[in-house]
Amino acid sequence: MKYYSTNHSVPEVSLSEAVVKGLAADRGLFMPEKIERLPKSFFDNIENLSLQDIAVRVAEAFFGEDVEPKALEMIVRDTLSFDTPVVEVEKDIYSLELFHGPTLAFKDVGARFMARLLQYFIGKNAEGKTVNVLVATSGDTGSAVANGFLGVDGIHVYVLYPKGKVSPIQECQFTTLGKNITAIEVDGTFDDCQRLVKSAFLDKELNAKMLLTSANSINVARFLPQAFYYFSAYAQLKAMGRGEDVVVCVPSGNFGNITAGLIAHRMGLPIKRFIAANNANDIFYNYLQTGEYNPKASIQTLANAMDVGDPSNFARVLDLYAGKHEVIASWISGTTFSDAEIAEAMKKCYEQTGYVLDPHGACGYLALKQLLKAGETGLFLETAHPAKFHDTVVGIIGKEIEIPERLQEFMKGEKKSVAMTSDFSDFKNYLMN
Ligand SMILES: *Cc1c(COP(=O)(O)O)cnc(C)c1O
């Protein structure tokens, strides 16, 4: 399968090139040239399949031409060493819990898949050159990618994160690992980190010296596998007799997660409509209202993994609907919430249902409370475990919550990071030497 750039000004590339390059040479994002519609028989029987079985079928649609079937099945099953259960929170509102992986956030799925696919491709072309993965994180990406790639031969990971803007629990998940993982603490915002990474990919001198790739959600190997759990969520709802008129609500930052859902929909998944739930970073919300896309500096919020002022995957959303605002707005509605609204939703939901939301999932829950219509089934993506934001969550709901053991393990390690300014020349110097 070939992958084209959303800017359409460079030739199409192979899967391995798209995965290693991350970003197209014209700064566009790669898209698969074909999005296969899965047959009716698959959906008729889907409620009898496990997440892993569903994922193998969906993965074939994208990667089946480029990865041997046995290897692909292994990559998928090894990636999904955990489940993504759908849980009823209250009447008509369900949570798709994506936090049962090793770093307790949905990004484990894409990061684990990408590490394994990259390893497969490196094994095929035994040039013996180290692949350097650069990843900017506003919190959860860094931990998912670092853990997904930890100890993988032939790969070195650099995690760039904004100093003082990620929670201590998030930070220890990528600064205490050692081995092939280097944490870089940037004196700036997440957008600065993202800019440093993008500039590195476009720097000729740097690329002549070392093999660089990205593990941000712009990478097709990270973003496409996120389609797996949309199918599984539908299967679970269908098994509960709630497979009709499903509205899927995605707490969104860089819009990789929701784009994977839109792709699942294009593959025939019967979802009625989508909601993109935003925090105070309301760029997409404003786009839906006005048809104009005006990136802004990101604003720091309680839901910090969604603090994005210029969502990378917006280009893919546009591409999927040929740039037509009215079509995009007919499939996706938007919401934007202040920190006070997020906190209130967390508190009320806990008091009324006993369900503990994290600040990101809370945006999804609240959006459904506001926009779900009679007869619809609402599903929001609970994108991280609340314990990842322990102090915030406990402060809001007024009750202690349990920290899962695998999270406690990270907190025992010693923090190691490299201090960096937000100036590209400093970052380049560091990598060159
Ligand atoms: C990354 C992240 C998001 C945003 O996902 P995008 O794919 O960037 O839209 C939402 N919630 C959590 C917990 C995250 O880590």
Q: In this predicted model, what pLDDT tens digit does every residue of 121-147 receive, in sequence order?
A: 887 765 667 889 999 987 778 899 999
Mean pLDDT of 224-240: 98
Residues whose beta carbon lies within 6 Å of some atom of ligand 1: 105, 107, 140, 217, 251-257, 305-306, 360, 383-384
- Helical (H) or strand (E) element with 95: strand 93-97
Global pTM exceeds 0.85: yes
Residue 48: pLDDT band with limits 50, 70, 90? very high
Ligand 1 atom closest to the Cα of residue 223 is 7
- Which stretch of 95-99, 211-215, 263-267, 283-287 has the lowest confidence by average pLDDT? 211-215
Report the run of H or E that residue 65 belongs to, with start and end: none
Q: Which pLDDT does position 130 carry in this prediction?
A: 86
Residue 410 Cα to ligand 1 middle (Å): 21
Taking the C-alpha atoms of residue 165 and residue 304, their distance in angstroms, rounded to an integer, is 8
CA distances to 263, 315, 326, 327 from 321, rounded to whole Å, are: 11, 10, 9, 7
Mean pLDDT of 412-417: 92
Distance 247 CA to ligand 1 centre (A): 19
Q: What is the pLDDT of residue 21?
A: 82
Q: How far is CA 404 from CA 18, 101, 130, 227, 415, in A?
A: 36, 11, 34, 26, 20
List, for residues 318-333, the tens digit of each pLDDT value. 999 999 999 999 999 9
Mean pLDDT of 216-238: 94
Q: Domains in the chain, please, with CATH?
A: 82-106+224-403 (3.40.50.1100)
Instruction: Kindly report the average pLDDT of the chain as a whole number.
Output: 94
Above pLDDT 70, what percent of the chain? Answer: 99
In this prediction, residue 125 carries a pLDDT of 65
Whether residue 353 is predicted with pLDDT greater than 70 in this model: the reply is yes
Percent of the chain surpassing pLDDT 90: 85
- 22 pLDDT higher than 90: no
The answer for residues whose C-beta is within 8 angstroms of residue 184's C-beta and 6 or more apart is 158, 159, 160, 161, 417, 418, 420, 427, 430
Per-residue model confidence (pLDDT) at position 20: 85
| Rounded Cα–Cα distance for residues 98 and 346 (Å) | 18
Q: Label residue 168 by pLDDT band (50, 70, 90).
A: confident
The reported pLDDT for the residue numbered 152 is 83
**Residues annotated catalytic, as ranges:** 107
Amino acid at residue number 361: G
Instruction: List the residue whose alpha carbon is closest to atom 1 of ligand 1.
Output: 305
